[in-house]
Structure 1
Amino acid sequence: MNSFGIGSVIDGVGRIADDLITTDNERLEIALREKELDTQILSKVHETNIAEAQHRTLFVAGWRPFIGWVSGLALVYTFLIQPIFLWINSIYNLTPTPPPQLNDDMLFNIVLAMLGIAGLRTYEKQKGLTK
């Protein structure tokens, strides 16, 4: 029966299983190391954000507010101005061409990214890390 090398296959599978299966303590250590790395990364991002916000030129310090305002205006256009214009145009037949439509998918990606950053800002304010 051992002529097919079944014993060596079983030993090999056992070694692989030992490498793959971790104890609860090992999982906890891995999770703690990942949390430490996440904290370090967030700390560096926070330092970068502070440095950008304190920069003397509006080009560097104002890019986040600019993106926020542009995204907000794009949302107002997409959900208020364009539908109202289309509705009025359908009633009075003012123009034969419809107004331009924005790329909603890209807009939502940008807005969600900005809201994620805003969520971190709220966390900073709650922890008293801002002025």
Structure 2
Amino acid sequence: MAALIGLAPVISDILDKFLPDKTQAEAAKLEVFKAAQAQQLAELKAMSDIAAAQSATNSVEAASTRLFVAGWRPFVGWICGFAVGFKFIGGPILFMVAQALGHPVTLPSIETEELWPLLLGMLGLGGLRTVEKVKGAA
């Protein structure tokens, strides 16, 4: 879809070479740029429609009283919170206590490469909600 937008300058150069009348070339270029803008606008509208549909779905899920419908987001948030808490607080404390008591302990390694995007995405959405509350928009 974005091909027409990227090709507009190339098409413009081609029109300059093949259309000797400058007025005709400018009119053709204008049509190419209008088509590129229309295409870009259609893509933005499609993305906006998808975001609006997802927002409506999220609202319906959040309003549900069923645990498996409304509860999966908090569940994922709690799992991420526990994982980060264990990685940076609970695990090191457990390791130090075990070492102080003379027990060799090998703690499980938590791979955070997959955890951080999920947690930060959830916190980013929560952060926006906080901004709304502070500004009085919520």
TM-score when scaled to structure 2? 0.62
TM-fit CA distance, 1:112: 2.4
For 1:101 and 1:85, how far apart are their aligned partners in 2? 14
- Letter of the structure 1 residue corresponding to residue 11 of structure 2: D
Q: CA separation of 1:120/1:35 partners in 2, compared to 1, >3 Å: closer, same or farther?
A: farther
* Structure 2 counterpart of 1:111: 119
SS at match of 2:113: helix
TM-fit CA distance, 1:101: 2.0
For 1:82 and 1:101, how far apart are their aligned partners in 2? 10
TM-fit CA distance, 1:61: 0.8
* Structure 2 counterpart of 1:96: 104
* Structure 2 counterpart of 1:60: 69
Unmatched runs of 5 consecutive residues or more in structure 1 = 1-15
Moved more, 40-49 or 95-104: 95-104
* Structure 2 counterpart of 1:17: 10
TM-fit CA distance, 1:88: 3.6
TM-fit CA distance, 1:17: 2.7
- Letter of the structure 2 residue corresponding to residue 34 of structure 1: E
* Percent identical residues: 33
Q: RMSD value over aligned CA atoms?
A: 3.4
Q: Deviations over 1:29-83 (max 9, x none)?
A: 4443332222111100011101111223111111101111111111111111112
